[in-house]
Amino acid sequence: MRLSKLVVVLVLLTTVGSAGAESPFVFGAEEVVPKSIKPGAKWQEGPVNLPTWPQESNLIQIPLDRPDEHFTYFLDRASLATESDGVVRYTLIAESRTGARNLTFEGIRCTPNGVFRIYAFGQNRDFKAAHTGDDWQGIGKAGTHPVRHELWRHYLCVPRLFKPRPKNDQIRMLRSGRVPDIENSGFLSN
């Protein structure tokens, strides 16, 4: 009985030992990638210069179609710029119904789901850098950041191409409050 158990164990050990060499399966195979595909360079953010304080004549109201919105939003036309790193930077003014204002200098990247970052907060006619590190935040659906979602989705970025619009187009569409129907048709990524 013991001898038969020993023989079975030895047979199993030799079978397992030789199975790896004769197996038709490839263990730990590398992913097949065509030779023409080269890994891309990692995106790096360029230098950021804080803007001057916005003037009333340069403010463009951002139209939001939300009945529950407690703020009126404005974008400073003079600070609106698309930099070489692909980030659209701008000064955003949120005005409450009582007239109080919050100013932020922000950037939006035209990625498939959109991300934004706050660079500075405005107070006493000056911008103070925000110490937030490298924390790009997702824009998400229209409920969490409605104004940023509108800017990303309709005014600053080209839908489905995930690249910034030219500045003239950005300003023209912000002023008119409309986006051409052709750009909002078809399938969009989530």
CA 111, 117, 122, 128 torsion: positive or negative?
negative
- pLDDT, tens digit, for every residue of 62-89? 887 777 778 899 999 999 999 999 999 9
DSSP string, 34-100: -TT--PPPPP------PPPPPPGGGEEEE----TT--EEEEEEGGG-EE-TTSEEEEEEEEEETTS-
Give the Cα separation of 150 and 179 in Å (integer). 11
Which pLDDT belongs to residue 14? Answer: 60
List the single range of 27-31, 36-40, 48-52, 136-140 with lowest mean pLDDT: 27-31
- pLDDT, tens digit, for every residue of 155-188? 999 888 889 999 999 999 898 876 665 555 555 5
Q: Coil, helix or strand for 120?
A: strand
Which carries the bigger pLDDT value, residue 7 or residue 77?
A: 77
- pLDDT, tens digit, for every residue of 141-153? 766 678 898 899 8
Give the Cα separation of 164 and 185 in Å (integer). 18
Tell me the mean pLDDT in the region 116-136: 85
Which carries the bigger pLDDT value, residue 163 or residue 34?
A: 163
Chain centroid to CA 100: 29
For residue 33, is pLDDT > 80? no
